[in-house]
Chain A
Amino acid sequence: MGAILKQYSYTPEKIIRGYSGKSLYINVSDLRIEEKELTDFMKEKFIGGKGFDLWYLWNAVTPETRWNSPENEIVMSVGPLGGITQYSGTGKTLIASISPLTGIPIDSNAGGYFGPLLKFSGWDAFELQGKSDKDIIIFIDGNNGLIQIEEGEEYPEDTHLLAEELTSRFAVDENDMVNVSVVCSGSAAKHGYMGMLNFSFYDPRRKLCRFKQAARGGLGTILRDKKVKALVVKYKGITPNLNNAADISTINKVGVKYHKEMHDLDSKQNKMRQIGTANTVMIMSQYDLLPTRNFQTGGDPETIKISPQVFINEWLTQGLHDGCWYGCTMSCAKCADHFLLTSGPYAGERVTVDGPEYECVAGLGANLGIFDPQAILEENFYCDTYGIDLISFATCTAFIMECYQRGQITQEQMGGLDLRFGNKDAVLELLHQMSRGEGFGKLAGLGTRKLKKIFVEEFGADPALLEDIGMEVKGLEYSEYAHKESLAQQGGFAMATKGPQHDEAWLIFMDMVNKQIPTFEDKANALYYFPMFRTWFGLVGLCKLPWNDIVPSDNHKTSEPAKVPEHVQNYVDIFNAVTGQNIDNDELILQSERVYQFQRVFSVRMGKGERKDDYAPYRSLGPVSREEYLSRQELYDKQLRDLQGLEPESMNLDEKIAKLRAYREDQYEQLMDAVYRRRGWTMNGIPTPERLKEIGMDLPMLLEVIEPKL
């Protein structure tokens, strides 16, 4: 235990209608600790969660702020619904900061107990600013009203060790372990830009810490740059109505109804309780949508080796509660117990691997050409404990592999690593190098955008090819969905404010399979509604999975089954029941849109919120290479014929590729126009004053940013 550097006593506020009314500010440069009042303005315009995070972040930074400037903040917040125990998925914390990968705000969400315990400790939000000169641990004791900052040099770096030590340290006995939650990163976060944050929760059945991740954007890199080793919160005494809801009866009723739905229907639907989000892997491959070998194709016959059934039968413990907050009967945070590690510093040890989630199987598996469940689980474990965003790692490594495959970089330039598709040993070694900050791992951790530059300038790679196959927008790597044939999803990714994360819109099936959004206007409407709707989860502290990863048995009878109207109504009812307000579906969208537009203007302010920043690498839009064209030749030839009036029989392959590309790039431009119109933006992607006024966000600070750009 290190020396105590600062202690601060406070009176924890009671939560009323979902809010404590206070937020915590800690500056680790001078160990200043302050309490801030929540204002009515904040609650009205920003609701909570991501809204509060972005508001505080805006006020902390200037357009010159970089990710490692002392004034950059990591801000975290749950939201008014966070911490209720009766409904599934009510423990999400939202975190925002200026990202090392993009230079603009990133927002990320994580399950785990930290956010709710933070709120019950009296804090609607927590701002972390400044930079310490030595590693510190910040401890928040919500029962005793104490904040303590202590030296943290002697604690281990890697999460699975660090969190266990800290949880044991601050719990008084075994039963108390569930009352402690840790936020930390890992050894790799000191070296690259894709460091993520782990959020712990203690599993009393397995008697060990489990982890969820706020993965995207490099938040762990920022935490370690600030020399904060961990945040710890402790709160004992969770009861059913700590939020002091206006109407506990409705919350209980809706909760029981949803739990029964999970009990009756999950095993017939997505089997979330058995496999979690990886349930979609086989389906994605069967529909040609599983990103394979750097998004070159949509699947592989070997996918059967990493199918959900393989993980259920051979790797994942079944039948125990695996929710990442109380009350989550979706219980999708599956894990592989007693997993034997075969590489790296922990080789020979048996560990619990939190996963695999879909992104892990798709990214660390198919997209790297690895169809070996043991390898996928080991990659998953090391990404987690080293504090690496496995999505960015997977997509970036896939890019490296393709560069190598196409002779753009050599094995020698990679320090001897034979990073060809399928080489799991090389991938694991790369992870270990990232942890040690050595060798090629030091470069790989910088991310795809930086690597493109390095490969061109230092290794003589072809810049045009690298631009086409390096799957990033605004500096953030794509998440793991093959979407070459879905114009709507191309827009959903590249026009997303933070970068190509799928949490704004997931429209692939709606677009490509169901053909529900054929026109530009249809797509634009979907690219308006779904980002707005999904933003709402992040304002109030909810996980999106319980919304549509299970549906009521009569959902098919509704007019818009993709929206799962009964579940949307559940959310409206619960929001009103907690807060005492009286919103409806339209107000829900309006709440979201305020924060959505705020985030877009914030990105403009930080330099990446305009049309030029919303373009996709061509690999996202269509076939870059001859092999890709040939893999879907019938489809592509038909499109040349039907949509462009050309005669593919009389064209050579390169001509066909070029013509298709010109067509698709033009389609994307037209989509941008339609989406910008629908979102109330100029043709340059800037939110208009009229739109901001319509939604009550014509704040001087926003108008100041957009006016010069109009």
Chain B
Amino acid sequence: MIKVNTEDYPWQPGMTVRSLLDERLFTFRHIIVRVNGEYVPEEHFDKSAIHDEDDVIVLHLMAGG
């Protein structure tokens, strides 16, 4: 089990930042991803593995109206 934005979420082997974003339908481009407190740049989304028990934050910087 991992945490995504403080909530429990099921983990699978082979999960990457990219696959998690796709699964969660986090299509918004302007996001900040931190795994266990470490910032992950966009270029590394495909390669960055997410491990079981990881704490993932996906901050959407949505300006809104």
Please tell me if B47 contacts chain A, counting CB pairs below 8 Å: no
12 residue pairs from A and B, CB less than 8 Å apart: A280-B62, A286-B27, A481-B64, A502-B65, A509-B60, A509-B62, A509-B64, A513-B26, A513-B60, A514-B57, A516-B59, A562-B61
Residues A556 and B25 in contact in the complex (CB < 8 Å), given A514-B60, A515-B5, A561-B59: no
Residues of chain B within 8 A (CB-CB) of A516 are 5, 59
Residues of chain A within 8 A (CB-CB) of B58 are 513-514
A508 to B30 Cα, complex, angstroms:
15
CB distance from A631 to the nearest CB of B (A): 16
Residues of chain B within 8 A (CB-CB) of A515 are 5-7
A38 to B5 Cα, complex, angstroms:
50
Chain A stretch 479-516: residues in CB contact (< 8 A) with chain B: 479, 481, 502-503, 506-509, 513-516
Across the interface, B65 reaches (CB within 8 A) one of A269, A506, A555, A562, namely A506
A481 to B62 Cα, complex, angstroms:
13
**Would A506 and B25 count as touching, CB distance under 8 A?**
no
Besides A503-B65, A508-B62, A513-B58, 12 new A-B residue pairs in contact (Cβ under 8 A), listed by A number: A280-B63, A280-B64, A283-B62, A287-B25, A287-B28, A481-B64, A481-B65, A502-B65, A513-B62, A514-B60, A548-B61, A556-B59
A503 to B64 Cα, complex, angstroms:
10
CB distance from B8 to the nearest CB of A (A): 11
Across the interface, A557 reaches (CB within 8 A) one of B39, B59, B60, namely B39
Residues of chain A within 8 A (CB-CB) of B62 are 280, 283, 508-509, 513
**Would B28 and A518 count as touching, CB distance under 8 A?**
no
CB distance from A496 to the nearest CB of B (A): 13
Residues of chain A within 8 A (CB-CB) of B60 are 509, 513-514
Residues of chain B within 8 A (CB-CB) of A358 are 65
Please tell me if B21 contacts chain A, counting CB pairs below 8 Å: no
Residues of chain B within 8 A (CB-CB) of A545 are 63
B interface: dominant SS: loop
**Would A359 and B65 count as touching, CB distance under 8 A?**
yes
Please tell me if B32 contacts chain A, counting CB pairs below 8 Å: yes
**Would B5 and A479 count as touching, CB distance under 8 A?**
no
Residues of chain A within 8 A (CB-CB) of B61 are 548, 551, 555-556, 561-562
Residues of chain B within 8 A (CB-CB) of A506 are 63-65
**Would B5 and A502 count as touching, CB distance under 8 A?**
no
CB distance from A384 to the nearest CB of B (A): 18
Residues of chain B within 8 A (CB-CB) of A561 are 32, 59, 61
**Would A518 and B59 count as touching, CB distance under 8 A?**
no
User: C-beta contact mask, B33-65 vs A, less than 8 Å → 1, else 0?
Assistant: 000000100000000000000000111111111
A556 to B59 Cα, complex, angstroms:
9
**Would B5 and A549 count as touching, CB distance under 8 A?**
no
CB distance from B34 to the nearest CB of A (A): 9
Shortest Cβ distance from B41 into A: residue:
A556
Pick from A277, A359, A556 the residue with the most CB of B within 10 Å. A556
Residues of chain B within 8 A (CB-CB) of A508 are 62, 64
Residues of chain A within 8 A (CB-CB) of B64 are 280, 481, 502, 506-509
Residues of chain B within 8 A (CB-CB) of A556 are 32, 39, 59, 61
CB distance from B51 to the nearest CB of A (A): 21
A-side interface residues, number (CB < 8 Å): 31
Chain A stretch 286-334: residues in CB contact (< 8 A) with chain B: 286-287
Please tell me if A343 contacts chain B, counting CB pairs below 8 Å: no
Please tell me if A29 contacts chain B, counting CB pairs below 8 Å: no
User: C-beta contact mask, A532-564 vs B, less than 8 Å → 1, else 0?
Assistant: 000000000000010011010001110001100
Residues on A facing B (Cβ under 8 Å): 269-270, 277, 280, 283, 286-287, 358-359, 479, 481, 502-503, 506-509, 513-516, 518, 545, 548-549, 551, 555-557, 561-562
CB distance from B44 to the nearest CB of A (A): 13
Residues of chain A within 8 A (CB-CB) of B32 are 556, 561
A515 to B4 Cα, complex, angstroms:
9
Shortest Cβ distance from A279 into B: residue:
B63
**Would A514 and B59 count as touching, CB distance under 8 A?**
yes
Shortest Cβ distance from B4 into A: residue:
A515
Pairs A-B, 9 closest by C-beta atoms:
A506-B64, A509-B62, A515-B5, A556-B32, A548-B63, A549-B63, A502-B65, A509-B60, A515-B6
Residues of chain B within 8 A (CB-CB) of A562 are 59, 61
Residues A277 and B65 in contact in the complex (CB < 8 Å), given A514-B58, A556-B32: yes
Residues of chain A within 8 A (CB-CB) of B27 are 283, 286
A327 to B43 Cα, complex, angstroms:
34
Shortest Cβ distance from A549 into B: residue:
B63
CB distance from B58 to the nearest CB of A (A): 7
Residues of chain B within 8 A (CB-CB) of A557 are 39
Residues of chain A within 8 A (CB-CB) of B30 are 269-270, 551
A551 to B28 Cα, complex, angstroms:
15
Residues of chain B within 8 A (CB-CB) of A549 are 63
A320 to B42 Cα, complex, angstroms:
31
A572 to B64 Cα, complex, angstroms:
22
A287 to B29 Cα, complex, angstroms:
13
A671 to B30 Cα, complex, angstroms:
29
CB distance from B38 to the nearest CB of A (A): 12
Shortest Cβ distance from B32 into A: residue:
A556
Residues of chain A within 8 A (CB-CB) of B57 are 514
Residues A286 and B25 in contact in the complex (CB < 8 Å), given A481-B65, A506-B65: yes
Shortest Cβ distance from A509 into B: residue:
B62
A62 to B2 Cα, complex, angstroms:
59
Residues of chain B within 8 A (CB-CB) of A514 are 5, 57-60
Residues of chain A within 8 A (CB-CB) of B63 are 270, 280, 506, 545, 548-549
CB distance from B5 to the nearest CB of A (A): 4
A514 to B34 Cα, complex, angstroms:
12
A562 to B58 Cα, complex, angstroms:
13
A283 to B63 Cα, complex, angstroms:
12
Residues of chain B within 8 A (CB-CB) of A359 are 65
Residues of chain A within 8 A (CB-CB) of B39 are 556-557
A562 to B31 Cα, complex, angstroms:
11
Shortest Cβ distance from B25 into A: residue:
A286
CB distance from B25 to the nearest CB of A (A): 7
A286 to B65 Cα, complex, angstroms:
17
A270 to B30 Cα, complex, angstroms:
8
Residues of chain A within 8 A (CB-CB) of B65 are 277, 358-359, 479, 481, 502-503, 506
